[in-house]
């Protein structure tokens, strides 16, 4: 492994964990067990820095980077795409170890969860994930966890309606789940220009206005001449993409303070889902921002949750809530211990409709799911 540290003794699922996965199977989700050793590239590309910096990495004799799976969403997704069922509605559940650096807590821990692919009834599928997540906490004796909910799709709709360069729109969406990054983006846009060294400004400006293919070829060739093959798991081509994105970001004129105020006003909306919907409609009307489609999905999800018996006043919704993983595209949620006896969420997940395309699918496939932290639930329910 490339990082120091000893992986803890393998945790063993107890009877409650096995009973939980059996309940998921009864709900219609087929149990799967992806390989523990996985190609590292999808995680390095798609999971975000929070997982990237905590992965256990190694390589095979051919030099291909491998890792101990840090989560199960990507492995289950890859196995689904490689199966004859790819593109068809399918649901899977799992129970097994994942591996991340966690300091003194040990590097191996159990997760259960569900991944649902190919469903067209988006709002109903979202509601089902939250309802099954609540079933999981109830299974461990916690009938009323604290529920946090957000919607990356609403923020994406807001950004799409703003007068911003495409590179900045992509950057804001990418950084939505990383609050310090998003705050930095807004600061950088508001003051205007790039934070690159002054002597680089002319080069960046030239690249920003150049033919994209030609500029990419130039940067790739320069990196290759310098003997750079990979940095932090990123290939020369990926490094070139990142450099050219920085050039495009630096070319954006400063963000009007009024536009920043609109973004911050949106991010301040919070409350139970029904009151939040009222605030969002008022915001869209007053700011003249087109959020109709995203709001219709949001309200349909609320109705589906209510139909499943989820008490809406118990849900704390926030437009600023994200989950720290780059692949989320819509509904996100976390269930927490209301007495704060354990750190971190007990159950968490959401919608990631673009992930399977980024993993190689020739067409878009809807996807939503969640993970259950077995050891957190077990610790909370231990007398």
Q: Which pLDDT does position 163 carry in this prediction?
A: 85
What's the pTM?
Answer: 0.81
The whole-number pLDDT of residue 3 equals 45
pLDDT at 234: 52
| CA pseudo-torsion sign 33, 39, 44, 45 | negative
Residue 254 is predicted with a pLDDT of 61
Is 50 exceeded by the pLDDT of residue 365? Answer: yes
Confidence of residue 259 (pLDDT cuts 50, 70, 90): confident
Q: How many Cα atoms within 13 Å fall on the side-chain side of residue 170? A: 10
What does the pLDDT average to over 235-247? 56
Examine the pLDDT at 242 and tell me if it is beyond 80.
Answer: no
Name the residue with higher pLDDT: 325 or 69: 69
Top pLDDT among 196 and 265 is at 265
* Range scoring the smallest mean pLDDT among 76-80, 178-182, 241-245: 241-245
**pLDDT of amino acid 307:** 98
Q: What is the pLDDT of residues 111-158, one digit of tens each?
A: 999 999 999 999 999 999 999 999 999 999 999 999 999 999 999 999
Among 59, 92, 54, 89, residue whose Cα is nearest residue 73:
92
Specify the pLDDT at position 194: 46
What are the φ and ψ backbone dihedral angles of 373, each rounded to 5 degrees?
-85, 95
Q: What is the pLDDT of residue 191?
A: 55
CA distance 176 to 183: 9
Between 168-182, 199-213, 301-315, 340-354, the lowest mean confidence (pLDDT) is in 199-213
pLDDT at residue 198, as a whole number: 47
Q: Provide the mean pLDDT of the chain.
A: 84
Rg, C-alpha atoms of the chain: 22
Please state, for a pLDDT cut of 90, what percent of the chain lies above it.
Answer: 58
- Give the highest mean pLDDT range of 99-103, 182-186, 230-234, 347-351: 347-351
208-233 b/e with 16+ CB inside 10 Å = b?
A: beeeeeebbeebbeebeeeeeeeeeb
d(CA 216, CA 237): 8
Maximum CA extent, the chain? 65
Residue 276's pLDDT is: 98
pLDDT band, very low/low/confident/very high, at 192 (cuts 50, 70, 90): low
């Amino acid at each position: 492994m490339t990082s120091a540290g000893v992986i803890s003794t393998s945790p063993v699922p107890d009877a409650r964990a096995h009973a939980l996965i059996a309940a998921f199977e009864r709900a219609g989700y087929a149990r799967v067990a992806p390989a523990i050793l996985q190609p590292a590239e999808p995680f390095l590309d798609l999971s975000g820095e929070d997982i990237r910096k905590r992965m256990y990495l190694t390589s095979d004799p051919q030099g291909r980077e491998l890792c101990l799976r840090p989560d199960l969403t990507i492995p289950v997704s890859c196995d689904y795409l490689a199966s004859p069922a790819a593109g068809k509605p399918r649901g899977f559940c799992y129970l097994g170890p994942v591996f991340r650096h966690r300091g003194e807590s040990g590097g191996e821990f159990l997760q259960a969860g569900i991944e649902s692919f190919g469903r067209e009834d988006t709002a109903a599928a979202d509601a089902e994930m939250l309802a099954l997540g609540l079933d999981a906490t109830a299974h461990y004796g916690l009938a009323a966890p604290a529920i946090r909910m957000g919607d990356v799709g609403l923020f994406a709709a807001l950004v799409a309606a703003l007068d911003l360069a495409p590179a900045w729109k992509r950057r804001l969406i990418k950084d939505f789940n990383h609050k310090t990054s998003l705050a930095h983006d807004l600061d950088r846009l508001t003051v205007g220009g790039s934070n690159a060294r002054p002597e680089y400004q002319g080069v960046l400006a030239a690249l920003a206005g150049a033919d994209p293919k030609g500029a990419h070829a130039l940067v790739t060739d320069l990196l290759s001449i310098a003997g750079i093959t990979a940095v932090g798991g990123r290939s020369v081509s990926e490094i070139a993409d990142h450099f050219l994105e920085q050039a495009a970001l630096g070319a954006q004129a400063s963000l009007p303070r009024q536009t920043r105020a609109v973004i911050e006003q949106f991010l301040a909306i919070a409350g139970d889902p029904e009151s939040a919907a009222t605030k969002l409609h008022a915001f869209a009307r007053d700011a003249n921002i087109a959020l109709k489609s995203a709001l219709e999905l949001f309200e349909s999800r609320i109705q589906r949750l209510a139909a499943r018996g989820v008490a809406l006043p118990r849900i704390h919704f926030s437009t600023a809530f994200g989950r720290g993983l780059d692949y989320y595209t819509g509904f996100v949620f976390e269930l927490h211990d209301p007495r704060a006896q354990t750190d971190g969420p007990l159950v968490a997940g959401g919608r990631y409709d673009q992930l399977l395309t980024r993993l190689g699918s020739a067409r878009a496939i809807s996807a939503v799911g969640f993970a259950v932290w077995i050891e957190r639930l077990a610790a909370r329910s231990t007398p």
